[in-house]
């Protein structure tokens, strides 16, 4: 099999509707956002479970458990919705990789969805069972956690298979016998371990954010805040050290230890370590963490590009048919609806969370609320008018 | 070596991989329709609660919201990407065609998803914690964002049936593909069903309320809302079927309606009677009945409807230019897409599919049956199960007790000739037709 010829033949004949580099940049950005919430969910679930087990003897753990349960709940929701974007963009420029993987691992791909539904539903069950002090709450929570891990392992396997085009035919038709069962599954344990280990620093730094935010709210004792701060610091430091070791081992297997991007990631990990030890402003530490996540996302993409270029596949020469109307629709919606809508809700939630009793919107929040509703109405009207014009143009 | 862009095959025995997509899709439709319908209901209730100063309605909204988060935003949000996942496994070129045409539309819908997901949590957890006017604006924004997700997906689903006119084939513009002639009737059809579902789900919460008067009032109001939704569905459906392509209409009229028409009438009658009962005797709607009816309506209302729509699309899977078996059926000059049918007729699937093992590229007496089986999988398994007596469209059952020569004649004179409008008229080289016929003869 001429892998390069196959990869280029598998490209969608309709081409891409915009410059491939834009899809690539969006992929890197949105994957970093997605993985941030994956890691937060994976880190907050065990904390919630430990807290649940300790709640009878330790008030601090009891309170933290309740909050971490909520954090996990919302993180999973966000990781799903944020995961849609990289899923979309990778299919545009790496369609061959994505679709081959999903067909040869088809059964696991279908199973992934139901495992994730099971995991998330069980987590809601845990939430209610834990609140009602049910004796089976812990078991439900653990099963949920295991199912989440299972879903994560599957997702990792798909990514790992997609960058090994030289193996596809061996996996699909071992010894020349076609296997259409979709049961192929291959894991890179080192890469997986590194990615999972990142959940510790992400969760640790989140706990430091949590302390900074709640210290301005009523109802949190100094003892509780000190407990969480200490825990967050420990989790972040130990997590950063473990992640650094696993990262070095992983890039060593790729012969990329001295790649400038890899060195930049190491540098940022050291900066993070220093900031956590020095107890720097947690929000600034989070910004550094975001940059690190973007660098890791970029490294993943560089690894994929290097592999694909070996076979003569470059996303930059993907045939293009630019579709300006929908490009404009996306950009205007992203900027106008996305920024105002999310800005409004996050500002509202932030301020309401810090207010004791009823929060009455101030001028800024009211303006944001009015703008969001107004912009969304205008958006819907423009969309419908555009549709009517197109339908009439094409039928009359 | 010359290839066409066919992917490896994933085949799920007995039911076929395409039906896995149908199952995930139906679950998603139920959950997502409920979520949009409920967002509209939320806005209506919040408006009423604010204008009439009815704080008790906020408690109802909170309960409804929690149910919604668990039901719609767990199952709905996972099965949404789940449709992509199963579609990529079952119909990679079909979903690829949609992605490469509509990526920016989907990206736009994603913006609204973000607003929706953050919105639903903000909406529920701020009830009673922020001033009601701001909360009302939040519910308006949430409803608008939810409906916008419907606006943005409906043209893509409609395109799967057909682009409606010749414009898109010539221009390749996503807006010509998106706004076809059945996009708007389809939109109203879905909105109507979403409103029905919001009432059906709403009964579960209203029936659990302890305060009797509120329970009766809300159950009645939901029944009226459900009836409005149901009426919208009926009228839009009549409009929708007028905008179908001829082959879909023929299949609907001559085959599907003759077979399933009475079932559909019974389904509509059950929903109508349920809504009338809720209006006339609101106390009779208890939580158990409401849950049972939600499941009944979800299963008998969504699954057969979606099955019918999927069937009507045959033999195409997207835009009436890609067949269900992933072959490109026609030229699309606007996108520089070329039909693959002449090449397949000349060289055959085994030579052109990149994922065929080398020893099967040339048919010999020794490998004829193995080659025939692989051809059946490539050409037929997207619509047919390959096992005799299987659940969905078993292929061997179409050729009962026939010998190789008879099957070969049918494959050539009926299937390849395009006599059946819902079967792709694929012409294969003689040796591939013979191999397929030989394998089928061993299966019946």
Between CA B163 and CA B294 the distance in angstroms is 34
Asked whether the beta carbons of A341 and A372 are under 8 A apart, the reply is: yes
Question: B73 near B34, Cβ under 8 Å?
Answer: no
Of B5, B74, B103, the CB nearest to A10: B5
| A235 Cα to chain B: minimum distance (Å) | 28
Q: Are residues A373 and A313 in the same domain?
A: no
Q: In Å, how far is A382's CA from the nearest CA of chain B?
A: 12
* Contacts with A120 from chain B: Cβ below 8 Å: 74, 78
B9 to each of A189, B259, B377, how far by Cα in Å? 27, 31, 8
Cβ-based contacts of A384 with chain B (< 8 Å): 151
The pLDDT, as a whole number, for residue B435 is: 97
B-chain CB neighbours of A334 within 8 Å are 107-108, 111
| Same domain flag for A95 and A35 | yes
Instruction: Enumerate the residues of chain B whose CB falls inside 8 A of the CB of residue A338.
Output: 111, 114-115
**Whether residue A356 is found in the same domain as residue A316:** no
- Residue A130, domain extent: 3-197+282-322
| Subunit contact B96:A380, Cβ cutoff 8 A | no
Q: How far apart are CA B195 and CA B34, in angstroms?
A: 8
Partner-chain contact A348 B173, CB within 8 Å: no
DSSP string, B49-78: HHHTT-THHHHHHHHHHHHHHHIIIIIIHH
Distance, in Å, from the CA atom of B219 to the CA atom of B202, rounded to the nearest integer, reads 8
Statement to judge: residues A368 and A288 lie in one domain = no
Q: What gap in Å lies between CA B423 and CA B80, rounded to an integer? A: 29
Question: Would you call B402 exposed, middle or buried from its count of C-beta atoms within 10 A (0-12, 13-18, 19+)?
Answer: middle
The last residue of one of the domains, among A303, A322, A341, is A322
pLDDT (mean) for B332-338: 96
Whether residue A11 and residue B181 make contact (CB cut-off 8 A), yes or no, is no
pLDDT digits (tens, 9 = 90+) for B130-181: 999 999 999 999 999 999 999 999 999 999 999 989 999 999 999 999 999 9
Same domain? For A110 and A71 the reply is yes
Residue written as tokens 């088809």? A106
**What average pLDDT does this structure show over A327-352?**
95
pLDDT for position A282: 95
Q: What residue segments make up the domains of chain B, in order of their start?
A: 17-318, 339-442
Same domain, A52 and A152: yes
Residue A112 lies in a domain: yes
Smallest Cβ–Cβ distance between B88 and the set A82, A98, A361 belongs to A98
For residue B90, give both structure tokens: 């079952």
Residue B332 is classified by DSSP as: B
pLDDT tens-place string over residues A158-206: 999 999 999 999 999 999 999 999 999 999 999 999 999 999 999 999 9
**Is the distance from CB of B243 to CB of B164 less than 8 angstroms?**
yes
Kindly state whether residues A286 and A335 are assigned to the same domain: no
Strand partners, B316: B323
Q: What is the pLDDT of residue B80?
A: 86
Check residue B125 and give its pLDDT. Answer: 87
Residue at a domain's end among A261, A290, A322: A322
Which ipTM value was assigned to this complex?
Answer: 0.93
* A378 and chain B in contact, CB less than 8 A: no
Is residue A50's pLDDT more than 90? Answer: yes
Looking at the fold, whether A316 and A379 belong to one and the same domain comes out as no
When CB atoms are compared, the residue of B78, B106, B179 closest to A116 is B78
Q: How far is B289 from B200, CA to CA, in rounded Å? A: 11
Report yes or no on A269 lying in a domain: no
For residue A134, tell me if it sits in a domain. Answer: yes
Is A92's Cβ below 8 Å from some Cβ in B?
A: yes
What is the least distance, in Å, from the CA of B117 to any CA of chain A? 7
Mutate to test the interface with A, among B4, B6, B7, B153 (most CBs of A within 10 A): B7
Contact A359 B131 (CB under 8 A): yes
DSSP run (H or E) holding B317: strand B316-318
Asked if B194 contacts B34 with a C-beta cutoff of 8 angstroms, the reply is yes
- Name the residue of chain B whose CA is nearest to A155's CA: B85
Both A72 and A20 in one domain: the answer is yes
3-state secondary structure A306-326: HHHHHCCCCHHHCCECCCHHH
Q: Are residues A9 and A95 in the same domain?
A: yes
- 3-class DSSP assignment, residue A257: coil
Domain-embedded: residue A207: no
pLDDT on residue B233: 94
| Record: contact B144-A376, CB cut-off 8 A | yes
Q: What is the pLDDT of residues B30-81, one digit of tens each?
A: 888 888 888 888 888 889 889 988 888 888 888 888 877 777 778 888 988 8
C-alpha angle A73-A213-B117 in degrees, rounded to nearest 5: 30
Q: Rounded to an integer, what distance in angstroms lies between the CA atom of residue B301 and that of residue B294?
A: 10
Q: Report the number of distinct structural domains present in chain A.
A: 2
Say yes or no for a CB contact (<8 Å) between A12 and B99.
yes
Q: Global pTM?
A: 0.93
Across the interface, do B88 and A344 touch by the CB < 8 Å criterion?
no
For B391-428, write each residue's pLDDT tens digit: 888 999 999 989 999 999 999 999 999 888 889 998 99
The answer to whether residue A332 is domain-embedded is yes
pLDDT value at position B35? 84
What pLDDT shows up at residue A384? 96
Query: Looking at beta carbons, which residues of chain A come within 8 Å of B11?
Result: 180-182
> What pLDDT score was predicted for residue A263?
96
In a domain, A211, yes or no: no
Q: Does A37 share its domain with A174?
A: yes
Residue A136 lies in a domain: yes
Quote the mean pLDDT of chain A.
95
- In angstroms, the separation between the Cα of residue B272 and the nearest Cα of chain A is 31
- Report the length, in residues, of chain B: 444
Cβ neighbours of B180 in A, within 8 Å? 391
Q: Which residues of chain B are within 8 Å of residue A372 when distances are taken between CB atoms?
A: 137, 141
Find chain A residues with C-beta within 8 A of B110's C-beta. 81, 84-85, 88
Confidence of residue B26 (pLDDT cuts 50, 70, 90): confident
**Which one of A180, A342, A373 has the shortest CB-CB distance to B9?**
A180
Q: Which residues of B touch A345 (CB under 8 A)?
A: 115, 118-119, 122, 138
Whether residue A165 is found in the same domain as residue A108: yes
């Amino acid at each position: 099999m001429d892998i390069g010829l196959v990869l280029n033949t598998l490209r969608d004949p309709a081409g891409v509707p915009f410059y491939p580099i834009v899809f690539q940049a969006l992929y890197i950005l949105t994957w970093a956002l997605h993985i941030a919430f994956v890691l937060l969910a994976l880190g907050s679930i065990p904390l919630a479970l430990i807290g649940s087990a300790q709640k009878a003897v330790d008030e601090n753990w009891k309170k933290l458990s309740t909050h971490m349960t909520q954090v996990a709940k919302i993180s999973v929701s966000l990781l799903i919705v944020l995961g849609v974007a990289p899923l979309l963009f990778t299919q545009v420029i790496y369609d061959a990789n994505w679709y081959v993987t999903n067909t040869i691992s088809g059964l696991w791909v279908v199973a992934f969805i139901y495992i994730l539904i099971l995991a998330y539903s069980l987590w809601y069950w845990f939430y209610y069972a834990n609140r009602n002090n049910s004796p089976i709450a812990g078991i439900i929570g653990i099963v949920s956690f295991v199912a989440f891990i299972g879903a994560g392992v599957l997702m990792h396997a798909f990514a790992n298979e997609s960058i090994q085009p030289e193996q596809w035919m061996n996996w699909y038709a071992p010894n020349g016998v076609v296997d259409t069962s979709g049961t192929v599954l291959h894991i890179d344990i080192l890469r997986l371990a590194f990615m999972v280990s990142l959940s510790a620093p992400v969760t640790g730094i989140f706990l430091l954010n949590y302390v900074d935010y709640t210290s301005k709210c009523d109802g949190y004792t100094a003892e509780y805040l000190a407990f969480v701060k200490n825990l967050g610091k420990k989790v972040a430091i130990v997590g950063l050290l473990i992640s650094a070791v696993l990262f070095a081992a992983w890039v060593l297997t790729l012969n990329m230890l001295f790649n400038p991007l890899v060195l930049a990631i190491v540098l940022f990990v050291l900066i993070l370590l220093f900031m956590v030890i020095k107890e720097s402003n947690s929000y600034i530490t989070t910004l550094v963490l975001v940059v690190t996540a973007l660098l890791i996302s970029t490294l993943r993409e560089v690894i994929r590009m290097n592999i694909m270029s070996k076979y003569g596949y470059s996303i930059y020469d993907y045939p293009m048919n630019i579709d300006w109307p929908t490009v404009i629709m996306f950009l205007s919606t992203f900027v106008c609806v996305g920024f105002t809508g999310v800005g409004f809700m996050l500002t509202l939630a932030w301020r309401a969370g810090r207010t004791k009793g009823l929060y009455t919107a101030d001028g800024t929040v009211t303006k944001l609320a009015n703008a969001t509703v107004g912009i969304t109405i205008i958006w819907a009207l423009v969309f419908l008018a555009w549709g009517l014009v197109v339908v009439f143009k094409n039928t009359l | 070596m010359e290839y066409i862009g066919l992917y490896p095959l994933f085949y799920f025995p007995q039911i076929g991989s395409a039906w896995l997509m149908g199952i995930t899709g139906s679950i998603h439709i139920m959950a997502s329709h409920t979520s949009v319908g409920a967002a509209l209901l939320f806005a209506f209730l919040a408006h009423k609660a604010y204008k009439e100063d009815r704080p008790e309605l906020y408690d109802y909204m909170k309960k409804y919201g929690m149910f919604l988060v668990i039901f719609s935003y767990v199952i709905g949000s996972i099965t949404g990407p789940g449709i992509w996942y199963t579609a990529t496994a079952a119909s990679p070129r079909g979903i690829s065609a949609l992605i490469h045409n509509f990526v920016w539309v989907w990206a736009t819908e994603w913006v609204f998803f973000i607003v929706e997901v953050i919105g639903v949590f903000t909406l529920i957890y701020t009830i009673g914690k922020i001033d009601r006017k701001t909360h009302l604006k939040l519910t308006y924004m949430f409803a608008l964002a939810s409906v916008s997700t419907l606006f943005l997906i409906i043209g893509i689903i409609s395109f799967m049936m057909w682009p409606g006119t010749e414009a898109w084939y010539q221009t390749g513009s996503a807006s010509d593909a998106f706004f076809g002639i059945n996009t708007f009737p389809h939109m109203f059809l879905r909105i109507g069903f979403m409103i029905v579902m919001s009432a059906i789900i709403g009964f579960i919460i209203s029936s659990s309320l302890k305060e009797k008067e509120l329970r009766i009032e809300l159950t009645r109001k939901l029944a009226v809302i459900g009836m409005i939704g149901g009426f919208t569905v009926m009228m839009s459906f009549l409009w929708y079927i007028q905008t179908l392509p001829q082959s879909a209409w023929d299949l609907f009229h001559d085959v599907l309606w003759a077979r399933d028409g009475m079932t559909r009438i019974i389904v509509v009658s059950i929903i109508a009677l349920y809504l009338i009962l809720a209006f006339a005797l609101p106390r009779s709607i208890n939580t158990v009945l409401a849950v049972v009816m939600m499941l009944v309506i979800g299963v008998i209302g969504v699954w057969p409807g979606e099955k019918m729509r999927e069937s009507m699309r045959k033999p195409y899977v997207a835009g009436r230019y890609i067949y269900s078996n992933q072959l490109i059926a026609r030229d699309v000059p606007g996108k520089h897409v070329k039909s693959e049918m002449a090449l397949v007729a000349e060289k055959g699937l085994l030579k052109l599919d990149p994922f065929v093992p080398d020893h099967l590229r040339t048919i010999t007496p020794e490998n004829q049956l193995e080659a025939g089986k692989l051809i059946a999988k490539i050409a037929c398994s997207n619509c047919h199960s390959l096992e005799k007596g299987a659940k969905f469209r078993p292929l061997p059952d179409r050729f009962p007790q026939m010998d190789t020569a008879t099957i070969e004649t049918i494959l050539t004179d009926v299937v390849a000739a395009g006599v059946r409008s819902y079967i792709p008229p694929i012409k294969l080289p003689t040796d591939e037709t013979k191999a397929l016929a030989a394998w089928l003869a061993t299966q019946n």
